[in-house]
C-alpha cells in the first residue's frame, strides 16, 4: 500500500507554504515529518485530510486492487490539541464509539483500554478530568478502532510525560504493520527514536533522509543547518 502525493501546492495569500510537492509514503513504516515550527507541517496534514482548500495537488492510495483517489475515510488524524467529549466518562465515550463503529470492532472494550494502558478507575472518570496525555491516548485509540489506512499524528508526543511517551511509542510500533503512519515533530531525537524514515519539510518542499545517515553528527548538523535556513522562518 502506498500514499502518493502529486504536485501539492498551498499558499495563504502571498505566502507560499507548500510548493509542488511530489512524494510517496509506504505501508508498514512510521515516517517522521521533521520541520521547524511554522514550516507547514500542520498545513501539510490539513491538506491531506481535506480540512483546507489547496491551490493544486492530487492524492492517491495504491493498494493490491489498484490506485484510486484518496478518501477521507482512509485517514485517521490525531491533532496536537486533543478534542474529546468532556461531559462523558472515557468508558461511556468508548461504548458509544464502538456502537456506531460496530463493523470495525475487533476487541472487547476492556481489551481496547488495556491497549492504551487506561486503568478501570480512570475509565470511569469524566474526560474533562483527563490530562492532555490521557486525552491523546483516547484520540489515538478511536483512530486505531476505526482502522484507517493512513494515520496522521500532529505533534502527538511533545507535551507528554516520559512514561506516556514510551507507552504511545510502543503502541505505534505495534500497529504500523498494516498502516502508513506519518508523525510530525520538530524534535530530532524523537524522530530518530521512533521513526523508520525521516522526511524533512523545509523551504516548502519534502525531502527524504536515510535514517542511518542521521546517526552521524556530521549529517545531523547538515539537517539542522537545512532547517535553520528554512525561508518560511
Residues 136, 165: Cα–Cα separation, whole Å: 10
Evaluate whether residue 233 is within a structural domain. no
Residues 173, 158: Cα–Cα separation, whole Å: 17
Can you state the percent helix, strand and coil of the chain, rounding each to 5?
Answer: 40, 30, 30
Q: Which structural domain, as residue segments, surrounds residue 77?
A: 2-228
**C-alpha cell of 181?**
503512519
Evaluate whether residue 77 is within a structural domain. yes
Write the pLDDT tens digit of every residue in 30-70.
999 988 888 899 999 999 999 999 999 999 999 988 999 99
Q: Domains in the chain: how many in total?
A: 1
Write the pLDDT tens digit of every residue in 197-233.
989 998 899 988 776 666 667 767 767 776 776 654 4
Question: How many CA within 13 A on the CB side of residue 20?
Answer: 0
Evaluate whether residue 73 is within a structural domain. yes
* CATH code of the domain containing 98: 3.40.50.300
* pTM > 0.75: yes
Amino acid at each position: 500500500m502506498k500514499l502518493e502525493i502529486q504536485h501539492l501546492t498551498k499558499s495563504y495569500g502571498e505566502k507560499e507554504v507548500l510548493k509542488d510537492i511530489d512524494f510517496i509514503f509506504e505501508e508498514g513504516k512510521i515516517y517522521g515529518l521533521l520541520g521547524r515550527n511554522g514550516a507547514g507541517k500542520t498545513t501539510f496534514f490539513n491538506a491531506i485530510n481535506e480540512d483546507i482548500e489547496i491551490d493544486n495537488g492530487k492524492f492517491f492510495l495504491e493498494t493490491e486492487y489498484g490506485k484510486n483517489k484518496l478518501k477521507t475515510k482512509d485517514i485517521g488524524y490525531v491533532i496536537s490539541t486533543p478534542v474529546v467529549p468532556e461531559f462523558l466518562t472515557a468508558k461511556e465515550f468508548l461504548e458509544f464509539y464502538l456502537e456506531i463503529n460496530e463493523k470495525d470492532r475487533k476487541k472487547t472494550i476492556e481489551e481496547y483500554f488495556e491497549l492504551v494502558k487506561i486503568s478501570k478507575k480512570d475509565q470511569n472518570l469524566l474526560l474533562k478530568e483527563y490530562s492532555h496525555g490521557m486525552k491523546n491516548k483516547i484520540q489515538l485509540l478511536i483512530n486505531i478502532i476505526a482502522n484507517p489506512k493512513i494515520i496522521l499524528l500532529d505533534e502527538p508526543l511533545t507535551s507528554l510525560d516520559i512514561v506516556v511517551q514510551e507507552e504511545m511509542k510502543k503502541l505505534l510500533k505495534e500497529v504500523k504493520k498494516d498502516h502508513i503512519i506519518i508523525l510530525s515533530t520538530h524534535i530530532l531525537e524523537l524522530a530518530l527514536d521512533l521513526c523508520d524514515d525521516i522526511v524533512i519539510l523545509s523551504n516548502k518542499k519534502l525531502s527524504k533522509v536515510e535514517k542511518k545517515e542521521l546517526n552521524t553528527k556530521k549529517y545531523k548538523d547538515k539537517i539542522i543547518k537545512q532547517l535553520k535556513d528554512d525561508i518560511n522562518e
